[in-house]
Every structure is written in C-alpha cells, then in structure tokens.
Amino acid sequence: MVGNNVSFSKRRTKRRFYPNLIKKRFYVATEDKWVTLTIAASALRTVNKIGIHEAIKRAKDKGYYGG
C-alpha cells in the first residue's frame, strides 16, 4: 500500500506501508513435526484462535501453503 508522509508544513512525500511479517515455528501434533511459517502479526491471532491444524488446512485450500 502506498501513501504520503505529511509534515507539519503539509509537504507531502511518498511512502510505503509494509505488512508486519514475522517468522514463527509451530508444532503440528497430528504430523509430529515443526512447521515454520512467515505470517503477518495479525494472522498470528487467527492461528491462535482456530489452531495451527485448521490454519494450515485453510492455507492449503487457498494455495498459500505448499508443505
């Protein structure tokens, strides 16, 4: 996403908004192995809510996860 930095004098310069990505390891008990995912910090709340097994299943359905 793009936007502007706006100074006190209202001078505008272009800037970029980057996602807050983190690398996180999860233990998948059904497969008895560790999985490393690069996910947004906001997606970490979803993984905690629905569980890692369901999150991987949804990611495979959408084509985001190939492991």
Q: Which of 7-11, 43-47, 54-58, 63-67 has the lowest mean pLDDT?
A: 63-67
Q: Please give the DSSP secondary-structure letter assigned to residue 18.
A: -
CB 41 within 8 A of CB 24: no
User: How do residues 22-55 score in pLDDT, each as one tens digit?
Assistant: 999 999 998 899 989 899 999 999 999 999 999 9
Could you write out the DSSP letters of every residue in 19-66? --EEEEEEEETTTTEEEEEEEEHHHHHHHHHH-HHHHHHHHHHHT---
Q: Write down the domain spans for the chain.
A: 19-67
Q: Is the pTM of this model over 0.85?
A: no
Structure tokens at 12: 């505008």
Hey, what's the torsion of the CAs at 48, 49, 54, 55, to 10 degrees?
Answer: -60
